Chains A and B, each alone.
Chain A
């Protein structure tokens, strides 16, 4: 998975800024994408490209359980969010709904990767290659069940052992 990084250097990016409350009544995925990140970065929609990644700090996706959040990001073209940690419902929604990959990174990747860097994320080797800076970082591997759900393509396609 190759793409460019949109970086938000902060912790606790909550689902209210990912998709503000007034859009909770919207269930059209393309329309939700128009308002992704509106509470934090009104320019997001104009700058995001298909295949981009979001890079952020701790507790990404905290707050409301709205599945609108990973949906809005995914339908904006975001393939994965790389963060130091994730809030649990956002993480589940992203994986179980097969919207995007929540990838836990370490401090080195967080501080080193800059806005606009081209990176290559490999969930089989658990490595993130920074093509722009020619560096490699480790990502935290998915736990067993998460890896299996991702591989299956979401919770509904996953067959428990």
Chain B
């Protein structure tokens, strides 16, 4: 069995599973945020009316809550949703609630690794499509809707169809100026936004072994954009060190068998990879940066679970050091812990000196909700994960997706720019 099959077999109490088996998997961790949380509360209200008991969660110690989409509260309704969420965690005895304005908080997928909330081999589900991110730690991490999360909160398990696995092998390191974001955009361009649908996307090979945990998180994050059920990387010593440094204990790794089977294996040579952008209006609509359209950009956005981890900010700072931005540029670290490290290591000063505005951790602008949305006809280059019509604001705005290096280089020139071409 491959790693995903092994995790799902263990979680469903079976010796062995094969693709297409329907299983009920016991869940180890579950997350809700300020959008899915109120959605789950609404489901609970409906269940109560149907006479279903919702007085107690199956295990509040396995649940954690993030405030990320609408903080700082965008308006009265979102403020009310945060209050709803706080009452929910209090009533159900959930202790891990990361609150805006009270120390560590941030984007849910970032907290999952920054706070070592999910461990290798675990089944982790969350009320957000980018829950896939956390598979980079060697867990089965999968996004669900409100009804499914409500079911998990009450029953501790959920049904899955065991997925087929696509294996993406990266031979050799990515060149300098090419990031994990470029590699995953290349893959989505190759297989399409439906190419991984209902499947596992697993990453391996020497290039992945060389990669930092944060880069692997970027890969798994965007498996969602190929429609995948989960993204995963076999955990190694790097993952153990990463989690232990963040306070994790009792880590036991699950790895695939040597005769693991995959539906298909794709091979990429690291040395051949180039900086990539995804043009409007799909993550599959890719172009090599040097062949991208010469459009006048209005904004560069360095934020989100995809593109505002510490390593992402470090990459942007490398470009922006000693330079000035030519267009509106925002950096929003994905969590307070990252924000603090960026401050301690001088990144924030580099950004401010370059003319960048720094904002608090939030999903706001990435999903077009608040905190800097785009006007009609505005064009943005962004380290986020989606560029559907209206995703970051007006339905006639446009978003190009890129790595933090490309977003920073483009901020300097006002045009889509390969970092290698900066003076």
Contact = CB atoms under 8 A, between A and B. Distances in A.
Nearest to A39: B390
Interface string A73-107: 00000000000010111001100110000000000
B159 interface: yes
B144 A22 contact: no
Contacts, number: 132
B389 A16 contact: yes
Lowest 5 A-B CB distances belong to which pairs? A93-B145, A97-B147, A21-B367, A67-B145, A65-B129
Given A14-B388, A16-B390, A156-B47, A65 B197 contact: no
Contacts of A62: 193-194, 227
B194 A59 contact: yes
Contact of A25 (B42, B78, B197): B78
Contacts of B35: 24-25, 66
27 contacts: A16-B367, A16-B388, A16-B389, A16-B390, A24-B69, A25-B69, A26-B77, A27-B42, A39-B390, A59-B194, A59-B197, A63-B388, A64-B129, A65-B143, A66-B39, A85-B194, A87-B227, A89-B143, A89-B144, A92-B144, A93-B148, A97-B43, A143-B22, A143-B161, A144-B22, A145-B159, A155-B151
Given A62-B194, A97-B147, 16 more contacts: A17-B390, A22-B368, A24-B70, A24-B367, A24-B369, A25-B70, A27-B39, A64-B129, A65-B127, A66-B35, A67-B36, A88-B197, A92-B148, A93-B147, A155-B147, A156-B151
Nearest to B42: A27
Given A21-B369, A24-B69, A89-B129, A160 B38 contact: no
A26 B391 CA distance: 17
Given A96-B151, A145-B159, A65 B52 contact: no
Contacts of B193: 12, 59, 62
A22 B369 CA distance: 4
A49 interface: no
Contacts of A58: 194
B153 to A, nearest CB: 12
A40 interface: yes
User: Chain B's interface: helix, strand, loop or mixed, by majority?
Assistant: loop
Interface of A: 11-12, 14, 16-17, 20-22, 24-27, 39-40, 58-59, 62-68, 85, 87-89, 92-93, 96-97, 143-145, 154-156, 160
B24 interface: yes
Contacts of B22: 143-145
Interface in B152-171: 159, 161
B109 interface: no
Nearest to A99: B147
A12 B197 contact: no
A159 to B, nearest CB: 12
B62 interface: no
Contact of A65 (B50, B75, B145, B369): B145
Interface residues of B, number: 49
B54 to A, nearest CB: 10
Contacts of A89: 129, 143-145
Contacts of B198: 88
User: Chain A's interface: helix, strand, loop or mixed, by majority?
Assistant: loop
B228 to A, nearest CB: 8
Interface in B369-388: 369-370, 386, 388
Interface in B38-56: 38-39, 41-43, 47, 50, 52
Nearest to A68: B39
Given A24-B69, A155-B151, A97 B145 contact: yes
B114 interface: no
A26 to B, nearest CB: 7
Nearest to A69: B145
Which residue of A25, A88, A156 has the most chain B CB atoms within 10 A of its CB atom? A25
Contacts of A16: 367-368, 386, 388-391
A92 B129 CA distance: 12
A85 B197 contact: yes
Nearest to B147: A97
A67 B42 CA distance: 11
A21 B374 CA distance: 13
Nearest to B73: A25
Contacts of B78: 25
A156 B53 CA distance: 11
B144 A17 contact: no
Contacts of A22: 368-370
B147 A154 contact: yes
Interface in B307-365: none
